[in-house]
Amino acid sequence: MMIQGLIRRRFWPKPSSSPFQPLNGYRTQSPIPILGPDLPDIWDSRNASPLLLHRRRPSPATDVAGDSVAKVIDGKSIAEGLRSEIAEEVRKMRHSTGNVPGLAVIMVGKRRDSQSYVRFKTMACHEVGINSHLVQLPEDCVDDEVVCVVSKFNSDPSVHGILVQLPLPQCELSFLSYKQHMMEEKILSAISLEKDVDGFHPMNMGNLALMGREPLFIPCAAMACIELLLRSDVEIMGKRAVVIGRSKVVGLPTSLLLQRHHATVSIVHALTKNPEEITREADIVVSAAGVTNLVHSNWLKPRAVVIDVGTNPIEDPSCEYGYRLTGDVCYEEVLEVASAITPVPGGVGPVTIAMLLSNTLDSAKRAYGFN
């Protein structure tokens, strides 16, 4: 069954002989494949011998297709499958416990792209049977008002996930970046660890970084990248991976998750010199810089796998909302070089939303003790 497939792939239980409770007092399940297998770091002692160094040859790029044009990884259809598995789980939960998962979405201001994302999220909730609660606050509201709304949802047992749509509006012209950052930190810190479905809480990020530990939630876009790679049968272990961008939303958690899957990861950012020299070494390139047309075909090794997390709004009056989305990657050009690529739109985006639903479902399962 698809549902069981999802659960098996993403979770397996801890040995029942485990003599104590894991973090946070309740038994969590061990999300092994999405977190990567636990492997001890046993170095090949031959590494220490200079004689063998030159026998090795660079491994070929991860190959997912035999064609000369890249396979397009269809995030839309993968997300559709995930949503239908989640909907089935939600039905089972309602049948068994009388409850369904609940997600609270808090939006401050009226950023056009944020409005679209929030719309997609609440629509997806509706589709799978998750209750969504949308609170829209004015652009000029103070941080305490947002914290107050967060606190209300923290103590609402019908809400299992809380997210504050980022970025927050810029609050003042002076000392902008610092105040902006502190406001965001204060608001995100107010979200209960058990309802942090975006996975941005430092405790969740720390548990993602620490091999062998298990975060309650992993940021959705990072999960989406790995899910797309796994579902496309891309080998991650031992491969060279480059993550472009280091935001807490995508770059950081994706680099940590790729490490948990035992890729050799390099993190490229805006202060990196000659980023294209590093990306050209990679079997897997995840781009989350937020810069249109950043990644050209000459940034890539032939047959690399490219995951484009960029969602850059471009003015386009011919489109429904006056703009369209582009990724970070020069799609047409890269199609000729890569072995697989995610399109924008229709790649990482819909799977990220499916992961949000999945995180909310997992949270509700923990709350109701439903497996």
* Residues within window 33-92 making contact with its own copies, judged by CB under 8 A: 38-45, 47-48, 50, 53, 56-59
Residue 341, H or E segment: strand 340-341
Residue 291 touching its own copies (CB under 8 A): yes
- The CB-of-60 to its own copies minimum distance in angstroms stands at 11
Q: Choose, by CB under 8 A, the member of 148, 237, 314, 319 that binds its own copies.
A: 237
Answer yes or no whether residue 248 interacts with its own copies by CB under 8 A: yes
CB-wise, 3 or 291, nearer to its own copies?
A: 291
Q: What are phi and psi of 309, to 5 degrees?
A: -95, -5
Catalytic-labelled residue, pool 71, 143, 196, 198: 198
Q: In whole angstroms, give the CA distance from residue 337 to residue 276.
A: 14
How would you label 113-144 residue by residue, b for 16+ Cβ within 10 Å and e otherwise? Answer: ebebbbeebbebbeebbbbbbeeebeeebebe
**289 near its own copies, rule: CB under 8 A:** yes
Judged by CB under 8 A, the chain residues 168 through 227 that form the site for its own copies are 175, 177-178, 181-182, 185-186, 189, 200-207, 209-213
Name the phi and psi angles at 187, rounded to 5: -70, -45
Considering only residues 262 to 281 of the shown chain, the ones binding its own copies according to CB under 8 A are 262, 264-278, 281
- Is residue 298 a contact residue for its own copies (CB under 8 A)? yes
Torsion-angle region of residue 58: left (phi > 0), alpha (psi -120 to 50) or beta? beta
Residue 134 or 209 with smaller CB distance to its own copies: 209
Annotation marks residue 121 as catalytic: yes
Nearer to its own copies, 137 or 265 (CB): 265
Interaction between residue 27 and its own copies (CB under 8 A): no
The nearest distance, CB 242 to its own copies, in angstroms, is: 9
Q: Which stretch binds its own copies (CB under 8 A): 90-98, 218-226, 255-263, 345-353?
A: 255-263
Instruction: Mark whether 165 is an active-site residue.
Output: yes
Q: Is 289 helix (H, G, I), strand (E, B) or coil?
A: coil
The span of 14-22, 132-140, 221-229, 341-349 binding its own copies (CB under 8 A) equals 14-22
Q: Which is nearer to its own copies, 6 or 330 (CB)?
A: 330
Q: What is the four-CA torsion angle of 35, 40, 45, 48, rounded to 10 degrees?
A: 60
Is 74 among the catalytic positions?
A: no
Checking DSSP bridges between strand 340-341 and strand 305-308, what pairing results, if any?
Answer: parallel
Measured CA to CA, the distance from residue 91 to residue 250 in angstroms comes to 31
Radius of gyration of the chain (CA): 21
Does position 95 interact with its own copies (CB under 8 A)? The reply is: no
Let me know if 33 is exposed, middle or buried by CB neighbors in 10 A (0-12, 13-18, 19+).
middle
Q: How far is the CB of 295 from its own copies (least distance, A)?
A: 9
CB atoms within 10 A of CB 147: 18
Round to whole Å and give the CA distance between 134 and 132.
6
Q: Quick one: 2 or 270, whose CB is closer to its own copies? A: 270
Instruction: Show which residues are catalytic.
Output: 121, 165, 198
